[in-house]
Structure 1
Amino acid sequence: MTENDVSLGVTDRSLRAVVAVVEAGSFTGAALTLGIGQSAVSHAVARLEQALGVALFIRKRDGVEPTTVGAALAARAAPALRELAAAVAAAAQPLGGGAVTISVSTSLAAHWLTPRLPEFKQAHPDVELRVLTTDTDTGVGRDGADLWIPLGPVDDPALDSVPFCAERLIPVAAPELAAAIDIADPAALLDSPLLHLEERYVPRFDWPRWFRHHGVAVDGDVPGDRSNDYSLVLHAALAGAGVALGWEQIVRELLAQGRLAAVGPVVETGIHFPLLSRHGRPLSPAAETLRTWILANAPG
């Protein structure tokens, strides 16, 4: 077999397929990572195996296992592919500018991201920012964004995750309403009008859990007005309509401005909100710039 014969089967697509299969442990997982069909992954791997004249994977009923040659090839190809992608991205946007899309909740966009955008734009005027707002995590990784800050942990091998901030909740109310509440007694909030967030897909920390956390017995549901949009819950609290559970990263500025007041202790749930990006796909200079800035300014 000549060098030319081998090169005919060695393509960027085939090498990416091999690396993705090794990292995901299956052709199905590799297809999800690459955003192509499973048959396309299988064909790319088979073509490379034919060109090399050696098996790269052992096919099993419950998945695949790389051969010694396959594992070695993936180990050397992965960093080379990342470097190549980074070089192409840098060549396309040599000054670090360009566009970047981030997907966040409406409330986080309004009360954390947007107030900080002037500072970001002053430091990075060449970066065009596109913000997608959502109040579910159903589109994470599939909505065309470059970065995501979801509503909670996301277990997806196709996404890389770094901590954005810990989940901390504070009961909050408009100052006029807060003045009438005994903040030293968690049970006193049962006598206050409570505002509830109804999460449609993933259970969130809610009022019954908050009361139980503080040793207050509640039977079944807790009365109060409800909305499936947290931004509406927050606006109701600002208007004095009731007490809401405030995620600290969202209500911190409102507390500092005196528009809301804390009416109970902070609860740390042990959960962390992540900042997500696609696994195996180097970020563009613009996306890397935004990611670095977010982590430097994250609530922690």
Structure 2
Amino acid sequence: MDRPKLPLNALRAFEVAARQGSFTRAAIELCVTQAAVSHQLIALEEFLGVTLFTRTPKGLMLTDEGAALHPVLTQGFDNIGSMLDRLLDGRYQETLNVGVVTTFATGYLLERLPDFRKQHPSVNLRLFTNNNRVDIAKEGLDLAIRFGEGLWPALHATALLTTPLTPLCSPQIKDSLKTPADLVNQTLLRSYRADEWELWFQQAATACPKITGPVFDSSIAMAEMVEAGHGVALLPYDMFTRKLSLGHLCRPFPMEIVTGKYWLTRIKTKPVTPAITLFENWLTSQKPLATLNPASHPQR
């Protein structure tokens, strides 16, 4: 097909709608009305003479023709956007969009980023924090740093750090914790990974009490609650070294558990850009976290 005849606006609307799985979400991303998206897609289907979507109660479903067209458009628009980003401000640069768990960002990554910017000034790094729930494709990310076991079939995963979990508490509560059994008298804050406390009590050779504390999807939020004296939480203590060194948080017991690692992930089928390679090599070359001695933490 001749390039002047390419229906670019309609193709863009189709790519976004297919990626988002919804006309409504596509309209939000494109900053247009839902009706405008629907109109563009009807026009594209008429232009091509094929049906690209079937509408189901659960949302949009691609037909065989739509499934064949979508990855070609996604790659094409990604390549165009990437090159335009590199030429912004009159100088060559490459933009890298990285999703990152907030705990990892604040506890490890941010203080190291000046070194990355110094070494690689041509990479415009954009960070998007999350609570370990991220969809690289839908969010337009190049990479995502997440916590887990590394079992994501469609993703290439590179192990970064193992950060054991251990109970952390406020200095006031610490004084009442002589043995793990004393935790039965405290509010035990929980993450969405329901078995963590049970695993820790097994490690401590202590019967696990019934856990009824509030559930959080953020280690940062739990740490704030703990610091305020509202309970005890299992947290990756290496991510809270500053609060521990200042005495805002305390580690009452040496027992710890490992339930996963932090991983750098990317889509297997997406081309690896120079910026992705630079960031991955830099991040994996960083020194591991120093293991803190619980006895060295201020115990007020």
Whether these two folds match at TM > 0.5 is: yes
Distance (Å, rounded) in 1 between the aligned partners of 2:226 and 2:232: 6
TM-aligned CA deviation for residue 160 of structure 1:
0.8
Structure 1 gaps, min length 5: 1-35, 44-84
Structure 2 gaps, min length 5: 1-61, 70-78, 290-300
Distance 1:174 1:126, change over 3 A: farther
- Contact between 2:99 and 2:134, CA under 8 Å: does it hold in 1? no
Aligned counterpart, 1:139: 135
TM-aligned CA deviation for residue 270 of structure 1:
5.7
Aligned counterpart, 1:232: 221
Deviations 1:172-218 (A, max 9, x none): 12233323321xx2212222332222x2xxx3553233223322223
Residue 167 of structure 2: which of 143, 147, 171 is its match? Answer: 171
TM-aligned CA deviation for residue 276 of structure 1:
0.7
TM-aligned CA deviation for residue 257 of structure 1:
4.0
- Contact between 1:164 and 1:298, CA under 8 Å: does it hold in 2? no
Q: TM-score, normalised by structure 2?
A: 0.60
Aligned counterpart, 1:193: 187
User: Is the aligned partner of 1:241 residue 2:230?
Assistant: yes
**Structure with the larger RCO, 1 or 2 (CA within 8 Å, 6+ apart):** 1
Deviations 1:38-80 (A, max 9, x none): 557779xxxxxxxxxxxxxxxxxxxxxxxxxxxxxxxxxxxxx
User: Is the aligned partner of 1:209 residue 2:190?
Assistant: no
Residue 155 of structure 1: which of 151, 166, 176 is its match? Answer: 151
Return the letter of the residue paired with 1:217: A
Deviations 1:243-291 (A, max 9, x none): 2111144223432443322112242326333211221433322222222
TM-aligned CA deviation for residue 152 of structure 1:
0.8
- Contact between 1:96 and 1:285, CA under 8 Å: does it hold in 2? no
- Contact between 1:171 and 1:264, CA under 8 Å: does it hold in 2? yes
TM-aligned CA deviation for residue 233 of structure 1:
0.8
Aligned counterpart, 1:103: 99
Distance (Å, rounded) in 2 between the aligned partners of 1:129 and 1:261: 34
- Contact between 1:96 and 1:286, CA under 8 Å: does it hold in 2? no
Distance 1:249 1:130, change over 3 A: farther
Distance (Å, rounded) in 2 between the aligned partners of 1:156 and 1:283: 18
Distance (Å, rounded) in 1 between the aligned partners of 2:63 and 2:159: 31
User: Is the aligned partner of 1:297 residue 2:278?
Assistant: no
- Contact between 2:200 and 2:255, CA under 8 Å: does it hold in 1? no
| Structure 1 residue matching 2:181: 3-state secondary structure | helix
- Contact between 2:186 and 2:231, CA under 8 Å: does it hold in 1? yes
Return the letter of the residue paired with 1:172: L
Distance (Å, rounded) in 2 between the aligned partners of 1:131 and 1:163: 19
Distance 1:128 1:205, change over 3 A: farther
- Contact between 2:189 and 2:215, CA under 8 Å: does it hold in 1? yes
| Structure 1 residue matching 2:97: 3-state secondary structure | strand
| Structure 2 residue matching 1:149: 3-state secondary structure | strand
Distance 1:130 1:180, change over 3 A: same
Distance (Å, rounded) in 1 between the aligned partners of 2:236 and 2:140: 26
User: Is the aligned partner of 1:269 residue 2:258?
Assistant: yes
Aligned counterpart, 2:24: none
Distance (Å, rounded) in 2 between the aligned partners of 1:174 and 1:145: 37
Distance (Å, rounded) in 2 between the aligned partners of 1:267 and 1:260: 16
TM-aligned CA deviation for residue 143 of structure 1:
2.0
Return the letter of the residue paired with 1:124: H
Distance 1:195 1:96, change over 3 A: farther
Distance (Å, rounded) in 1 between the aligned partners of 2:137 and 2:253: 36
Aligned residues: 213
Distance 1:195 1:141, change over 3 A: same
Q: TM-score, normalised by structure 1?
A: 0.60
| Structure 2 residue matching 1:267: 3-state secondary structure | coil
| Structure 1 residue matching 2:211: 3-state secondary structure | coil
Percent identity, aligned pairs only? 24
Aligned CA-pair RMSD: 3.3
Distance (Å, rounded) in 1 between the aligned partners of 2:279 and 2:226: 31
Return the letter of the residue paired with 2:276: A
Distance (Å, rounded) in 2 between the aligned partners of 1:224 and 1:270: 20
